[in-house]
C-alpha cells in the first residue's frame, strides 16, 4: 500500500479513521495517524456540535426573556385591575394591598430568572429531579422552587437579563442562525 497523498511513496502507517495509507511525512502531520480528509471531517463535526450547543444556549436565554415580558404584560394588567378593585390610591400607600400589588407587578414577572438561577445552582451540585420522583413530591419540589424563584427573582433579574441580552445580541452579530 502506498501513501494516499503521495502515490510514489510506500505507506508506513494507516489513517485511524478510514484506513488509507500514510507515508512517513504524512503520518507525522497531526500527532495521530490520520489523513487530511478525516481531519477536516472530524473538525467539521466538532464545529457542528459547538454551534448546536451555542444555539441551545441562545434559545434558552430567549425563552427566559420572552417568559419575562409575557408575565410582565399579563401581571401588569392584573395589577392594574387589582389596584382598581381595592380602590387604592398613590396617596394611601399604607393600605396593605400595595404589598400584593408589588408582588404581582414586580416579583411574579421575575419568576423565570429566579427559576433559571435555582436550576443553574442545583445542576452544579448535582441535584436532579429524579431524587424527588414519585409524582406528588415532584409537584412539591416545583411548588417550592416556584416560591423561591419569586422571592429571589427581582434580585437576580437585572444581571441575568443583561447577560441574556448580551448573548442574544452576540449571536445575531456572528450570524449563528
Residue numbers at the binding site for Zn ion (CB under 5 A): 3, 5-6, 15, 17-18, 23, 26, 35, 38
> Do 26 and 2 meet the contact criterion of CB atoms below 8 Å apart?
no
Residue whose CB is less far from Zn ion, 5 or 122: 5
Secondary structure letter of residue 127 according to DSSP: -
Residue whose CB is less far from Zn ion, 15 or 58: 15
**Rounded-to-integer distance, Cα 82 and Cα 9, Å:** 84
Q: Which residues pair with 64 in a beta bridge?
A: none
State the nearest-atom distance from the C-beta of 157 to Zn ion, in Å: 51
State the nearest-atom distance from the C-beta of 46 to Zn ion, in Å: 16
Take residue 165 and report the three cell numbers written for it: 441580552
State the nearest-atom distance from the C-beta of 21 to Zn ion, in Å: 8
Residue whose CB is less far from Zn ion, 11 or 65: 11
What is the SS3 assignment for 15? Answer: coil
State the nearest-atom distance from the C-beta of 52 to Zn ion, in Å: 24
Given the C-alpha cell 495521530, which residue does it identify? 32
Could you give the angle at which helices 111-124 and 36-86 cross, rounded to 10 degrees? Answer: 140
| Torsion sign across C-alpha atoms 104, 106, 109, 112 | negative
Residue whose CB is less far from Zn ion, 6 or 60: 6
What is the SS3 assignment for 22? Answer: strand
State the nearest-atom distance from the C-beta of 34 to Zn ion, in Å: 6
Residue whose CB is less far from Zn ion, 29 or 54: 29
Amino acid at each position: 500500500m502506498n501513501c494516499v497523498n503521495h502515490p510514489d511513496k510506500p505507506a508506513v502507517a494507516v489513517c485511524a479513521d478510514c484506513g488509507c495509507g500514510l507515508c512517513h511525512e504524512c503520518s507525522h502531520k497531526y500527532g495521530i495517524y490520520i489523513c487530511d480528509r478525516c481531519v477536516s471531517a472530524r473538525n467539521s463535526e466538532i464545529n457542528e456540535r459547538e454551534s448546536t450547543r451555542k444555539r441551545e444556549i441562545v434559545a434558552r436565554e430567549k425563552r427566559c426573556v420572552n417568559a419575562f415580558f409575557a408575565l410582565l404584560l399579563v401581571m401588569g394588567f392584573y395589577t392594574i385591575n387589582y389596584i382598581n378593585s381595592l380602590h387604592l390610591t398613590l396617596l394611601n400607600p399604607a393600605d396593605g394591598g400595595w404589598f400584593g400589588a408589588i408582588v404581582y407587578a414586580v416579583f411574579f414577572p421575575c419568576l423565570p430568572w429566579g427559576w433559571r438561577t435555582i436550576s443553574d445552582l442545583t445542576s452544579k451540585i448535582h441535584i436532579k429531579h429524579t431524587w424527588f420522583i414519585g409524582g406528588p413530591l415532584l409537584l412539591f419540589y416545583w411548588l417550592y422552587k416556584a416560591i423561591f424563584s419569586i422571592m429571589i427573582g427581582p434580585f437576580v433579574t437585572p444581571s441575568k437579563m443583561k447577560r441574556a441580552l448580551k448573548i442574544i445580541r452576540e449571536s445575531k452579530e456572528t450570524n449563528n442562525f
